[in-house]
A and B are shown apart, each in its own frame.
Chain A
Amino acid sequence: MENAATVVASSDAVAKRLKKRYAAERRFKALGFGAIALALGFLAILLVTILSNGLTAFVQTHVRLDVTFDAETLGVDPVKPSSDALASANYGGVIKNALGKAFPDVSGGQRRQLYKLVSTGADLPLRDMLMANPGLLGTTTSVWLTAGADVDMAMKGHVGREPGVEGNRLTDAQLGWLADLEKRGAVSKKFNTTLFTTGDSREPEQAGLWGAVVGSFFSLSITLLVCFPLGVATSVYLEEFAPKNKWTDLIEVNINNLAAVPSVVFGLLGLAIFLNFFGMPRSAPLVGGLVLALISLPTIIIAGRAAMKAVPPSIREAALGLGASKLQMVTDHVLPLSMPGILTGTILGMAHALGETAPLLMIGMVAFIVDIPASPMDPSAVLPVQVYLWADSPERAFVERTSAAIMVLLFFLAMMNLAAIMLRKKFERRW
């Protein structure tokens, strides 16, 4: 009897313990789920904020005007204008005339306000039009011109259109003309090609990302060219050839430490070495790429070594046992097998480099640069620095452009990750 009682008691205790164990497991799972949900929530908030702020930047308000290419206003010879004269002609005057014709009863001081409806950079497309087709001289054409940034903001609803509302920079008269133009069907939002074709500008409606995209491309190309061969060679040497002693231990510790050095320090190093000592050009993607290479190198070396460590030693033994030299063992077996890991590490390093801002500020890549760089030696901006510059600009229209720039940056990051995944898949199939 007593025996049976202890059995029951102990099985009771067992059941209790079991219950506790399962409860602990459930709690742990719930915590994990909660953590993921929280992370996804923050991600969603981030994306929604960026999208809601930035999506409107991909369209741009345009105003349709009947533009007369009048030789007298342009200041060119009406019969046979030289292309030099056409290039430097007064297209701003043409636009002013067109605006005056659209609102004939506006006069005097109010005219200056009227001209602000259209972007100050709207004359460039007119020049291109006329230079491409000089026959337009003397004729009148209906043209969609980029609207001023304040008109754009009002049309997109980012600021109120009632007079006196906070943030509204349009006068009552300007709002009246805008409403008038709308009634005539002469206001429309079109895809913002400027954003993807031009460099930076002080005027939000004329500012584009292309300069920064090209700059980032040049920088990352330099980074990849320097980093990948150097990083792979270093990890091969350290992992497969170097003797294991105090010196290689020291090197390994230092490489790990380098990966943790704040990137701004690398920027200062680049400033001291590349700019001051070697006298390389300031603000150039060449220097930016070299500095980013310094930052990415430890990441690539560490990832490369980890990938090579993951190749089973039995593969090395098999190759060596067949009489392969150590180099053949590495190039025929270890490297191909670890390539997916090395590529992942490299692309992670490159993605890191693409988003890096602080070190580039140190080497002068924060300058305001309008021209699209033609080579890695030309001064240029890069995407994250462009985000930084635009975020710093006071105009309301730069807020949406900042978000648009972030979207473009994230798009490139996503593309890089996709490329990494596809490359890995390809390599994995082959082996």
Chain B
Amino acid sequence: MNAIPLTDTRLAKVAARDVNVFYGQKHALKHVDLDIRANDVTALIGPSGCGKSTFLRCINRMNDLIENAQVTGALTLDGDNVYDKNVDVVQLRARVGMVFQKPNPFPKSIYDNVAYGPRIHGMARDQAELDEIVMGSLEKAGLLAEVKDRLEESGTGLSGGQQQRLCIARAIAVAPEVILMDEPCSALDPIATAKVEELIDELRENFTIVIVTHSMQQAARVSQRTAFFHLGELVEVGDTEQIFTNPQHPLTQGYITGRFG
């Protein structure tokens, strides 16, 4: 499974080799080898505290923000180690966007929410270009029709599902290559969830997506590849269909059939 060499970026957009994460004394992620293929949706599943979110946050180095978190091993994006000393974390996060568990729009207008990323990265030369990026991103996030008449209203005034799609629009406005989603639907109702899932499927065309989810149905619905984590270890990874119909490891089987979790 992990036979793909580290340098082969044809298939593996993100490749992890022997990645360990320590929070002080706690060994939170143990020897993880995982390849994430370009333009796939990869679902990370597993019980709470299994390290799936930790792994996700390694990819755009959000773990840097946690005091005394330490990452060892190699984690590459297009073959370059993201933990290399020369890597600018700001540039990295422009390439690897993130959508969080709870919708967290800035308390600014809808327009400014989406325009913030392009502004700080200097992606638009003039207002017209910025407008184009904002409208395009809202369109791609399937939100434009709902908000085009009230772009100046606050982003926090939207419904939960709309807020999460606004956060997705905000993430794709900086044109990342990879989008990380940390349980993006856990705070949403089923209808909003369905919309976001639909959106994830559409976004796959242009982005590589890694999604952490507690809902196995969601993993089955949206992902092509699924990785199962347990107690900080990567237990099994494979095509989603195979994982859900024919899991190789007894722990995986136990988890997806609901015997523990």
Contact = CB atoms under 8 A, between A and B. Distances in A.
B146 to A, nearest CB: 21
B93 A431 contact: no
Interface in B80-116: 90-94, 97-98, 100, 102, 104-108, 116
B108 A328 contact: no
A345 to B, nearest CB: 20
Contact of B65 (A312, A320, A324): A320
A322 interface: yes
A318 B106 contact: yes
Contacts of A317: 62, 65, 98, 100, 104
A328 B119 CA distance: 11
Given A314-B100, A315-B104, A322 B116 contact: yes
Given A244-B67, A317-B62, A322 B104 contact: no
A324 B119 CA distance: 10
Interface in B178-207: none
B100 A322 contact: no
Contact of B104 (A243, A312, A328, A337): A312
Contacts of A116: none
A309 to B, nearest CB: 15
A323 B90 CA distance: 5
23 contacts: A312-B104, A314-B100, A315-B104, A317-B62, A317-B98, A317-B100, A318-B100, A320-B65, A320-B93, A321-B97, A321-B98, A321-B171, A322-B97, A322-B117, A322-B120, A322-B174, A323-B94, A323-B121, A325-B90, A328-B120, A332-B116, A431-B108, A431-B154
Contacts of B116: 319, 322, 324, 332
B97 A318 contact: no
Contacts of B34: none
Nearest to A324: B120
A337 B167 contact: no
Interface string B113-150: 00011001100000000000000000000000000000
Most chain B CB inside 10 Å of its own CB: which residue of A319, A323, A333: A323
Interface in A302-336: 312, 314-325, 328, 332-333
Contacts of A322: 93-94, 97, 116-117, 120, 170-171, 174
Chain A CB within 10 Å — which of B91, B104, B154, B174 has the most?
B104
A203 to B, nearest CB: 58
A323 B91 contact: yes
Interface of A: 243-244, 312, 314-325, 328, 332-333, 337, 431
Contacts of B174: 322-323
Interface in B156-175: 167, 170-171, 174
User: 6 closest A-B pairs (Cβ-Cβ)?
Assistant: A314-B104, A323-B94, A321-B98, A323-B93, A322-B117, A318-B104
Contact of B93 (A315, A321, A332): A321
B60 interface: yes
A94 B115 CA distance: 78
Interface residues of B, number: 27
A321 B90 contact: no
Q: Chain A contact residues: over half helix, strand or loop, or mixed?
A: helix
Interface of B: 60, 62, 65, 67, 90-94, 97-98, 100, 102, 104-108, 116-117, 120-121, 154, 167, 170-171, 174
A314 B106 CA distance: 9
A323 B107 contact: no
A320 B167 CA distance: 13
Contacts of B167: 318
A312 B102 CA distance: 11
Nearest to B65: A320
Contact of B117 (A244, A323, A325): A323
A430 to B, nearest CB: 9
Given A318-B106, A337-B107, A431-B108, A323 B120 contact: yes
A321 B91 contact: no
A325 B116 CA distance: 12
Contacts of B67: 243-244
A431 B106 CA distance: 9
Contacts of B91: 323
A314 B102 contact: yes
A42 B174 CA distance: 60
A118 to B, nearest CB: 65
A321 B106 contact: no
Contacts of B105: 318
A244 B91 CA distance: 26
A315 to B, nearest CB: 6
Contacts of A332: 116, 120
Contacts of B106: 315, 318-319, 333
Nearest to B154: A431
A263 to B, nearest CB: 36
Contact of A321 (B100, B102, B107): B100
A323 B87 CA distance: 13
Nearest to B105: A318
Nearest to B156: A431
Nearest to B167: A318
Contacts of A319: 106, 116
